[in-house]
Amino acid sequence: MSIAAVSRRTLVKASAATMAGITVLRFAGPARAFQTPESGAVVPWNDQLADNPVPEVIVKQLDWESLDSWITPNDQFFIIKHYDEPTIDVSTWALQISGDVANPMSLTLDDLKARERTEVTFTLECSGNTGLPFFDGGIGNAVWAGTPLAPILDEAGVSDTAREIVSWGADSGEQTRGDSKITEYFARSLSVEDAMNPANLIVYEMNGEPLPPLHGFPARLILPGWYGVNNVKWLTRIEAIDRRFQGFFMALDYVSIYQEPHGDEMVWTFTTVGRDRLKSAPARVLDQDGDYLVQGAAWGAEIAKVEVSVDSGAWEDADLTTDGSDPLTWTFWTYDLGSLASGEHTISSRAISATGDQQPAPDDPRLATKTTYFESNGIITRRFTAA
């Protein structure tokens, strides 16, 4: 199913809920929480995260062991920022639509709010998530509200010679390029075709609140289906250009480097971080008077099935506890472990999509040869101790 089709369906659902006056339910979402048993103590993972050496970049992470809500509340939502938080005065702020366009535009926050309003529930994941020993909580699921990007680009009249749309943030920092030190703004680009996807939003609300400062106030991109880095925060300028953009976060950082077989040769290849990949993770284990239960999440595609392997045993089906049909949102699952011999155990999970794709094992060639930590969607195994 195309992202565009999904976005239309999500829209219909959202407006039906609004008409019935139950908008609030989408945020509280008791039906979408884990069916957490009343009893049951969280069994801490033995493989806890290493100390975070970059707290100014990875500012906040999801805590899997306390995960109990399908919608991630704003104060628990992960935060990644590569430069210092920019200071933005919303009374003078306006988003520029510029470059290779017939009618450059300047849109204030009120202008954006006056346009068509669209909501999307989207699970945002940082492409670096689970690729580093101190980072496994770079994911969260929120209801984002804003206005579609495509009609704005249409009004601006992107010229036929334009190849890419570059989105610029207000945050900047020093980068070394060759022998020079330069000040560079955060920016990412998309092909014109990808930018025109009707699902893409310029977002000013998160879970019914104004976009919080660290999540990109006054406005950010939300590109449903794309890894975090593409969702540019603190937007200042959306620009059409007639060549390919090679900013630091496009060409040097957030690049996956891995080997691909070509005939007998393994050839190194380089691709900038793109769309979300099929993935799952065990979230937490609960001890219910000696009976164990594992809860987890799966995302990155329409989820048909999640399987669990205990102590490297056979793969068994987990129960999906939320609807797996929306590829834009994570699906929650549980699996009954029953009673367990006392001592350490391992749990692995793997997601299977509606089109039959399977979350890759860590020895999948693309993952095994990859030298950068981005787009690490291999099967995750965690350890805990049963009493």
Ligand X SMILES: Nc1nc2c(c(=O)[nH]1)N[C@H]1C(S)=C(S)[C@@H](COP(=O)(O)O)O[C@H]1N2
Q: Which positions touch Mo ion (CB under 5 A)?
A: 80, 126, 228-229
Nearest distance from C-beta of residue 265 to ligand X, angstroms: 33
Q: Which residue is nearest to Mo ion (CB)?
A: 126
82 binds, among ligand X, Mo ion, none (CB under 5 to 8 A by kind): ligand X
Among residues 82 and 113, whose Cβ is nearest to ligand X? 82
Nearest distance from C-beta of residue 151 to ligand X, angstroms: 23
Would you state the torsion angle of the CA atoms of residues 345, 351, 356, 362, taken in this order, to the nearest 10 degrees?
-70
What DSSP letter does each residue of 47-58 carry, written as one string? SPPPP-S-TTTE
Among residues 99 and 300, whose Cβ is nearest to Mo ion? 300
In sequence order, the 6+-apart residues with CB closer than 8 A to the CB of 97 are: 104, 105, 106, 107, 152, 153, 156, 237, 238, 239
231 binds, among ligand X, Mo ion, none (CB under 5 to 8 A by kind): ligand X
Nearest distance from C-beta of residue 103 to ligand X, angstroms: 25
Would you state the torsion angle of the CA atoms of residues 60, 62, 64, 69, taken in this order, to the nearest 10 degrees?
140
3 binds, among Mo ion, ligand X, none (CB under 5 to 8 A by kind): none
Nearest distance from C-beta of residue 17 to Mo ion, angstroms: 31
Nearest distance from C-beta of residue 131 to Mo ion, angstroms: 10
Nearest distance from C-beta of residue 171 to ligand X, angstroms: 5
79 binds, among ligand X, Mo ion, none (CB under 5 to 8 A by kind): ligand X
Residues lying near ligand X in the complex (CB under 6 A): 77-82, 124, 126, 169, 171, 186, 215, 228-229, 231-234
Q: Tell which residue, 42, 85, 82, 79, has the closest CA to residue 61.
A: 79
Beta strands in 26-112 (DSSP E): 41-43, 58-60, 79-80, 95-99, 105-107
Identify whether the C-beta of residue 274 lies closer than 8 Å to the C-beta of residue 292: no
299 binds, among ligand X, Mo ion, none (CB under 5 to 8 A by kind): none
Nearest distance from C-beta of residue 88 to ligand X, angstroms: 11
237 binds, among ligand X, Mo ion, none (CB under 5 to 8 A by kind): none
Burial profile 97-118: b = 16 or more Cβ within 10 angstroms, e = fewer: bbbbbeeebebebeebbeeeeb
Tokens of 16: 């039906």
Identify whether the C-beta of residue 206 lies closer than 8 Å to the C-beta of residue 221: no
Among residues 226 and 258, whose Cβ is nearest to Mo ion? 226
177 bridge partner residues: 180
Among residues 79 and 156, whose Cβ is nearest to ligand X? 79
232 binds, among Mo ion, ligand X, none (CB under 5 to 8 A by kind): ligand X
Identify whether the C-beta of residue 259 lies closer than 8 Å to the C-beta of residue 365: yes
d(CA 276, CA 327): 10
Q: Which residue has the tokens 């849109």?
A: 107
250 bridge partner residues: none
Q: How many Cα neighbours within 13 Å face the side chain of 321?
A: 22
281 binds, among ligand X, Mo ion, none (CB under 5 to 8 A by kind): none
Among residues 80 and 379, whose Cβ is nearest to Mo ion? 80
Nearest distance from C-beta of residue 106 to Mo ion, angstroms: 29
